[in-house]
Each structure stands twice: as structure tokens, then as C-alpha cells.
């Protein structure tokens, strides 16, 4: 069956450290993958998109990698801040449909 | 640029009643999505429109859910009759091109009692 899996347990890290979130997919062959942030009571907000021919993408303190062999994307937040606390969702496009993963909640404490 | 508008923001209904949600996407966005998000889970795609046409509705429970997109702009999602398990946040999103980022509304929180 097709699955997009993210760490179901919350990730707790200390301010200033690098947070690394994982997205693994099964039985999809996406041409690109997206990451979103979702705060409580709000809709997801787009952060980054990475294409299958791109190994890595950066935007300010954010970095995304995409390994089509491992069928995995890693999302890094460097120098994390309490304001980065939120749920992070990966999403891929499969036959024109935008499909989301389960999400990982990140908590950054001072 | 105005964002995706959804209404109502909250709705409480009794089981077996009907309910409708409305979405106005960003102007010019051809693709419109409806997602169901149960607490603690990721958004689940219910239906995706490309202009007036349906791209996918494979996960829409068609015996009780229906959706339409009028003139390729606004969209409504209806549930009739509602069940307890329909309690969730219903998110609408739109995007301007195939690989483009999706813009989401704030969602409608539905509680079925």
C-alpha cells in the first residue's frame, strides 16, 4: 500500500540545536516533495519544495534533502528557536494529487 | 493578495443532520483541494478540482459527502447525513500550477454530537 510516514512522536530539542525531521514514503515515485508548517488552529503553510533531480535545497535556516533511492526526505532547522515549535508536514505529488504525511510535532525549549 | 477564505469557522451539528462548507480560493488558482484533518493526523485529501473538473475523489465517501466547484472558482463541500466520525477540521487549499505550493484557508472545525 502507499504510505507517507513521519515520526509520530514529538521531537523535543533545545534552543540553538539543529532539528532533523524525517519523511519516508512507500510505493510512490514523486517528481517533487514539499514541506509545510502547521500551527494549532491554522492551515498548513508552505515552506520548501524540492525536485527529484535536486539533492538539497536551502532557505535561510531551513534545509531539505531528497533521496529517491532511499525514498526519504530530511528536513533540518538549524539554530532552532522556540518560535519554530509547530507541526511539520511533508507532502508529495502523485498523479497530480497532493498527498500529505502524518506530520511531526516539534517542540523547541529554551 | 487575499488568501483562501473558508466559512464557517466552527460548526456543531447533531448526527444525521446535514452541513455545508464554503471555500473561495485565491483568484486565478486553477487547482482547489478539500482535505479532512482529524486531530493528531495529517490532512487527508477528499477531493481535488482542476478548474471545473475533478482530478481525484477516490477518498470522498460519496454516500454522504458531495462537492462542487462553481464556474471553476468557489467550492462547497456537503455532508449529509453526518456521522460522529466526521468530526474533524475541513481544510480548503488552492494552487496555481501543478507543482506549485498550496495555500490553505484556516479551516472549518466540525463537531458532530
pLDDT digits (tens, 9 = 90+) for A24-80: 999 998 888 999 999 999 999 999 999 989 989 999 999 999 999 999 999 999 999
A8 pLDDT band (50/70/90 cuts)?
Answer: confident
Residue percentage of chain B with pLDDT more than 90: 87
How far apart CA B11 and CA B78 sit, in angstroms, is 13
Q: Which residues contact A51 (CB under 8 A, 6 or more apart)?
A: A31, A32, A66, B99
Please name which of B77, B103, B108, B74 lies closest in space to residue B91, comparing C-alpha atoms: B108
**Do B42 and A41 count as a contact with CB atoms less than 8 A apart?**
no
Full DSSP string of B32-48: EEEEEE-TTS--EEEEE
**Do A46 and B4 count as a contact with CB atoms less than 8 A apart?**
no
A5 pLDDT band (50/70/90 cuts)?
Answer: very high
Contact call for residues A4 and A28 (beta carbons, < 8 A): yes
Contact call for residues B22 and B34 (beta carbons, < 8 A): no
Nearest-CB residue to B56 (from A89, A97, A100): A97
Does B54 lie at the interface with A, CB-CB under 8 angstroms? Answer: no
Q: Which residues contact A23 (CB under 8 A, 6 or more apart)?
A: A4, A5, A6, A33, A35, A72, A73, A74, A75, A90, A101
Distance from CA of A50 to the nearest CA of B (A): 10
Please give the grid coordinates belonging to residue A18: 539543529
**Do A102 and B104 count as a contact with CB atoms less than 8 A apart?**
no
Candidates B4, B23, B36, B43: best to mutate against A (most CBs of A within 10 A) is B43
Please give the grid coordinates belonging to residue A8: 509520530
- Tell me the C-alpha to C-alpha distance, in Å, between residue B24 and each of A110, B66, B70, B77: 40, 17, 10, 12
Q: What rounded mean pLDDT belongs to chain B? A: 94
Amino acid at each position: 500500500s502507499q504510505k507517507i510516514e513521519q515520526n509520530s512522536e514529538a521531537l523535543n530539542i533545545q534552543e540553538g540545536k539543529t532539528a532533523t525531521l524525517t519523511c519516508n514514503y512507500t510505493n510512490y515515485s514523486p517528481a517533487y516533495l514539499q514541506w509545510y508548517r502547521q500551527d494549532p488552529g491554522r492551515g498548513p503553510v508552505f515552506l520548501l519544495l524540492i525536485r527529484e533531480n535536486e539533492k538539497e535545497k536551502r532557505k535561510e535556516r531551513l534545509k531539505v534533502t531528497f533521496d529517491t533511492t532511499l525514498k526519504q526526505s530530511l528536513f533540518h532547522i538549524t539554530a532552532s528557536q522556540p518560535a519554530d515549535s509547530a507541526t511539520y508536514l511533508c507532502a508529495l505529488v502523485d498523479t497530480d494529487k497532493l498527498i500529505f504525511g502524518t506530520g511531526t510535532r516539534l517542540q523547541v525549549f529554551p | 493578495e487575499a488568501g483562501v477564505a473558508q466559512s464557517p469557522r466552527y460548526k456543531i451539528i447533531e448526527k444525521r443532520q446535514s452541513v455545508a462548507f464554503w471555500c473561495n480560493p485565491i483568484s486565478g488558482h486553477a487547482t482547489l483541494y478539500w482535505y479532512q484533518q482529524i486531530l493528531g493526523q495529517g490532512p487527508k485529501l477528499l477531493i481535488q478540482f482542476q478548474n471545473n473538473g475533478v482530478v481525484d475523489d477516490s477518498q470522498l465517501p460519496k454516500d454522504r459527502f458531495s462537492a462542487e466547484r462553481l464556474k471553476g472558482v468557489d467550492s462547497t463541500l456537503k455532508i449529509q447525513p453526518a456521522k460522529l466520525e466526521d468530526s474533524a477540521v475541513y481544510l480548503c487549499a488552492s494552487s496555481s500550477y501543478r507543482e506549485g505550493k498550496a495555500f490553505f484557508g484556516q479551516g472549518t472545525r466540525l463537531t458532530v454530537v
